[in-house]
Every structure is written in structure tokens, then in C-alpha cells.
Chain A
């Protein structure tokens, strides 16, 4: 009856309860923990499909978490069930389920605490669902922080490795910077829109000054910059590859990093396009464009297979953010959706390759894998084709949608997008040629064998999705956007330009890397390559300026205050005073019988003197 309306709360409760059970009770039973997490992911996927197909309908009740006398300050917990949210949930739970399944094969034989790993995955599922289904910004923020937390847990899963622990810290702290802006943005929204509820925001933007709107949107965008790893705060994502590969696929490629884009689109939908002023849009679009370009450039000279994919993720996220900035939320969500499938595929494929090559991640130590593990390589190639937007694959449609929007709005972004597409083609083909063709260059690659069933099945499913998910008949029903309609592509400037950049990328890659006969990178060795390998020195700059300069300076200041004020003045003074008092009292307590008797006699005299007034 009434309870059935509240069924969607299971999206949140199921993973949360499972995470708690995994963490607390099943420390010694990783298999049971894996099964439970898998079942919860499957159950949420089933529930999601039930809602999408209309088998189950109805909106869940709103729960007032923190009541307040002022209605607008109350914290409500409510769920939105519109197509934007539910189809996003399909992506999250679908890829989530596949990643859980993949993890069983991937993490087999790992000596770390697997219950903790699966608990982390379940916490992530819970938090991501919270972001997706949240009906107000406060709840989004809760999920926002929770995904940051689960990402921290999972990046640092192998916390014995110093690099993993550092990467987890880096991701968490970098996100904190963005989250600060996000929190400011939420408060500004509450202040100027008078509500945090998405449903109530519509139409209120008209009465607010553009400057205020710009500041509000930019502050909210800060959250997306942190979470979606946009340009100034992008540094954490490549380092996050220290986590297990399935985690990278789920969190750092398909879903969590896309949360920023999702949040922006959600705001665009609920606040209305008019809330996004030109200035704000320009900031957003340029941030996305810059991220897309520098990430693509950096990807060209990476050797670690996961890092190449990480930079490619950054670049694609840049695309999406750019699309949001161009007020093409539809295109952004379309790309988010296709990208989720093919990037998860690429990451899981990379994971399978890494496992089969005995934990080798350097592409220059692979080679010839197409002969040894053809199925995995085939799936990986499907993903690559989708990513470099070969016509007929899903990525082509969504990238085309973004390029169309860019051309319509501002041709500069169109040309940037086209250039990034060429770079993407180049570095992905570089990866494929070096890793899959030619002779094996190391023992790991020589003895590689085809991945097992638990790893192959998710790859196959994702490969299918990577191919077909872009076609209108599927996309119309599944792309997370209210009333999405895939418009068929037309032979126009965008098509020719993207074909051109595709051809350029392929030709360049073939020209430089041949067919896999090279044993080391011909582009390496010069100063540009060095700069690219060092990530354009941005990380070093942050280390130097923010950590070395600001943080250390602040730490020195605090240390000085601590030493001088707290220790020096307050503590030492107190100590000095009490020591003096102590000495004073210890002089009284001289331990000499005669002195005591003398003192008591003096007391007697004083008493008598006081009494003497009476006579």
C-alpha cells in the first residue's frame, strides 16, 4: 500500500546495509561479502529496470531529517524519479553490477581484506545513488561527500603501498577544495533561490541579478571541477589509478567523475537555462575545453595503460563540461551515458590485460597481446573505436551531438573539440598498436592468457553496449535526459571535420608507431615529451606552491603561534606562576620542627593581637 511507494528508498538502503554488514560482520568471509554486494547491486539494477519499464511507479515519501521552524531551512530527504535520475541510475547500477562481477575475477588471489573492498564498493553504490536520486542540494552534498569518502577508501585499498595511500589523500584533499566552493554555492542558492529543492527552483532565476547568478553557478561549478577533475583540480584523477582497476572503471571513469556533469545538468534542468548567465557559461565551457585539450596532450606521452585511460577520461569529461557550458545538457548527458559504457569497457579491458600480464601496466612491456588474448583485445578495440568516434559506434553519436552544439553556439569550441578528437585518436591508437601488436617485449606479455569467465562476461556485455548504445532506438529510452531525442546525423561540417580529425589521428599514429615493431617511443627524449610525462609540471607546481609554499608557510605560522603563544606564553607562564607559588609554599613546608612551632607561635600572637582590641 503505502509502503510500496517507498520502494525506491531501497536504492539507498540496500547498499548501505550491505556495506555495514560486509564491513562489520563479514571480515573473515570475503566470498560471502562479495556475494552480498553483488546481490545488492543486482537487486538495485532490477529495481531500476522495474521503474524504467513502468512495472513499478509512484513517488516515494519525503522524510524530514532535520526539522526547523523556518520551512526552507529544514533538511528533507526525498527522491526524484524523473527519467534523468532513473536512467542515470541504470548506468550506475548496470555498470556497478558488471564491476562487482568483474571484481570477483580481478581480485581473486589478492591478499588484502576483500570484505573491506566490497564494503567500499557498496558504500559507493549507496552514495552515488544518493547523488543521482537526491531531490535537493543538501542531499546531493551528502552523497557528494560520501562518494569522496568511498573513493578515498577504494583508492587507498592497498594502503600498504605508499603511492596508493598518497593518491587517496590527494584525491580526498583536492576534492575538498572543490567541495568548499560547492558548499558556498549551495548556501548562495539557498539564500537567493530560497530553496534547496530542485523542484522549487524553476523560474526563480528570473528575479535574481545576473552577477549573483554568475557567482552562484560558478561556486556550484567548483564542486563539479573537483569531482569531475576539471582543469585546476584535475591532478587527483591520474593518481587515483593506484586503486584496483575495477574501482577505476566504476568510480574514476564511468560514474563518480561524471557526477559533476550530472549535477550541472540537474541544475540546468531545474533552475532553467536562464539561470546560467553568459559569463558562467563561458567559464564552464572554457574550463571544460582547457581540460579536454591539456588532458589529451598529456595522454600522448603516458606509458601506463591506466594513466592513458585516466587522461582520456579527463579529456572526455572536459567535453561534457564544455557541452554543459554551451547549454547543451542533452548532448552532455548523451556523451556521459555512452562514455560510461565504453570507458568502463576500456578500464575493465585494461584490468583484464593487467591481470593477464601479471600486474604489468607499462604498455612498452606488453605487445603482441592480440594473438594471446584475442577476446579481451577485441572488446578493448570496440571500446577504443567508440572512444575515437568511428562512425557506427556509440561514441560517434554523442561526440557528434557535442560538436553540433559547439558549432551552433561558438565555433571556437567546435575546433577545439575537433582537435581533441584527433589527439584522442592518436593516443588511443598508440596504446593499441604498442600494447597489442608486434612481438611481446616482456615475460608478462609472453605468458599472457585469455581472461577468465568472470572477467570476460562483463567485457562482452559492455562491448555490446559500447557499440549499440548510441543508436536512436536505444538511446531514446536510456539516455539520462528528460525527453531525450536522438537526432539523426547529417552530412555536414561537423561530420567532415570529425572524419578528418579521425583520419589525421590514425595516419599520425600509423606513421609514428608503424605496426608495433618499435620497442621504444620515438617521440620520447625531447623536452616536450619530458614536460608531458611530468604532466606539464602542474603537479610539481602544486607541490611547490600550495603544499611547499602555502601549506608549509601556514604550518610554520601555526607552529610559531603554537610555540610562542600556546607553549610560550600560556603554558610557560602558567607553569612559571605555579612553580613560583609552589616554591613559595615549599618555603613554608621547610620540614623543620622549629620553624613550624615558630610559625604557630606567631599565629598565636596575631590571634592575641586581634583579641587585644577587646581590652
Chain B
């Protein structure tokens, strides 16, 4: 019980920090400050990932977002030597409308999140979301949408992870006793297994996308010779 409430407190602190930093990204005039805030925000998100038991993703988050991407941003900001944004009254209404629109979005998303079914028997909001979106787009999504599965669970607390089940999944040949002995989940192995079996081809395509992105970036950022 204590552990659980500790977890909750930790989550709340991390989430509050992440949101604060996010606001900082938007609010700071100086892009360098914004970039720093973004790094902290990403780090907080990575910590939340750890809390959810997605250690691999948390590490990737740290390395890629808080590491590589941030460095790129800082590098560009420094290289271009950008000064503070100068406010012009002309575009004030723009900011107001932007905030208003964002507020609306936030309200709608929060409403959707809060009205998750919890203990009730209503189907998963995500599924409903998908279904209704499908309805909007194709007109008849009920046929395409799968039937609701175990709807009651989604709104409530996240289910506990089971190291034994993970071990069984990792290696189906081991016995139940051996699996029960497992204490932690090596989710790198499980993600890797998923990635290299089911998502092998998309993964390769992603690699090509990164490669072409790199080449494109070089081509774009290169100084165009005048001749």
C-alpha cells in the first residue's frame, strides 16, 4: 500500500515537473532556455517510462530525445545565434486564438481521459474513439471494429506485471517452476523479439528513412555554391 502510494507520489512529481518544463519550453523567450526545458521534460517522461516498466523505451527516450535531438537543437540555436523573439502587437490575437484552441483540445482530451469507464462496463474509450472515428470516416465502423474485450479493466489501475509470464513468453520451452523463479523482466529481449520478427520489414524501412533523412539533411544544410 505504501509502495503504491509512493509510486503515485513519484508519478505526480514527475508529471508535474514534465508539465512545468513543457510550459517552460513554450514560455521562455530564449530558445536556449526552451531547449533546456525540453531536455528536462524529456528526462521526466523517460522516468515515467521507467515507472511503467518500459525500461528500454525510457533509455531510448533519454538517448535519442534528451541526448541526440537536444544536442542538435542546441547546436542549431548556437550556430544561427538566434536572439530573443521580439513581440509584435500585430500578432497578439494569434496567440490568444492559439491558446484558446489548445485549451479546447486539452479540455476535450481530458474529458475523454476522465470519462474512462473505470469500474463500469462501458467499452474502452480508445476503442470507442477508433470506432467513432471510423464511423466518421467510412460510415460503418461497427463491422470493421473488433468486439470489445474485457472492457472493465481499461479505466482502472494498470495491471501488475508478472515476471514469470514474461519469462514464459521470452522462452516458451522453460518449465513453470523455472519461470516462477524469474525476478525481473528483460523487456529489451522481448521488444527485440517483437521488433525482429513481426516488425522486421518496417524496422528496415525505418532504417532507410533515417539514412535518407541524414542524406537529405546534409544536402539541405550544405552551402549552395554560386557557380
Contact = CB atoms under 8 A, between A and B. Distances in A.
Direct contact of A and B (CB under 8 A): yes
B48 to A, nearest CB: 24
A120 B52 CA distance: 102
Secondary structure at the B interface, as helix, strand, loop or mixed, is helix
Contact of A608 (B94, B98, B108, B131): B108
A25 interface: no
Interface residues of A, number: 15
A601 B98 contact: yes
A615 B101 CA distance: 20
B87 to A, nearest CB: 14
B105 A605 contact: yes
A612 B102 contact: no
A14 B131 CA distance: 83
A615 B104 contact: no
A103 to B, nearest CB: 76
B101 A598 contact: yes
Interface in A574-598: 594, 598
Given A598-B97, A615-B111, A615-B112, A608 B105 contact: yes
A594 B132 CA distance: 30
Contact of B128 (A594, A604, A610, A615): A615
Contacts of A613: 132
Contacts of A604: 101, 105
Nearest to A594: B94
Q: Give the contact-size bracket for chain B.
A: 20 to 34
B224 interface: no
Contacts of B131: 614
Given A611-B132, A614-B128, A601 B101 contact: yes
Contact of B109 (A594, A598, A608, A610): A608
A604 B100 CA distance: 13
A609 to B, nearest CB: 7
A594 B128 CA distance: 32
A531 interface: no
Interface string B85-117: 000000100100110011011001101100100
Contacts of A612: 108, 111-112
B132 A614 contact: yes
A602 interface: yes
A611 B105 contact: no
A614 B116 CA distance: 11
B133 A611 contact: yes
Nearest to A612: B108
B136 A611 contact: yes
A608 B98 CA distance: 16
Nearest to A615: B115
B105 A601 contact: yes
B125 A598 contact: no
A605 B108 CA distance: 8
B128 A605 contact: no
B26 interface: no
A596 to B, nearest CB: 12
A605 B103 CA distance: 10
Contacts of B102: 601
B129 interface: yes
Contact of A598 (B94, B105, B115): B94
Contact of B104 (A594, A598, A605, A610): A605
- In the A-B complex, the 10 residue pairs with the smallest Cβ-Cβ separation, listed nearest first, are A608-B108, A614-B132, A615-B115, A601-B101, A605-B104, A614-B128, A611-B132, A615-B112, A612-B108, A605-B101
12 contacts: A594-B91, A601-B102, A604-B105, A605-B101, A605-B108, A609-B108, A610-B136, A612-B111, A613-B132, A614-B128, A615-B112, A615-B128
Interface of A: 594, 598, 601-602, 604-605, 607-615
Given A601-B98, A605-B108, A612-B111, 13 more contacts: A594-B91, A594-B94, A598-B94, A598-B97, A608-B104, A608-B105, A609-B108, A611-B129, A611-B132, A611-B133, A614-B128, A614-B132, A615-B115
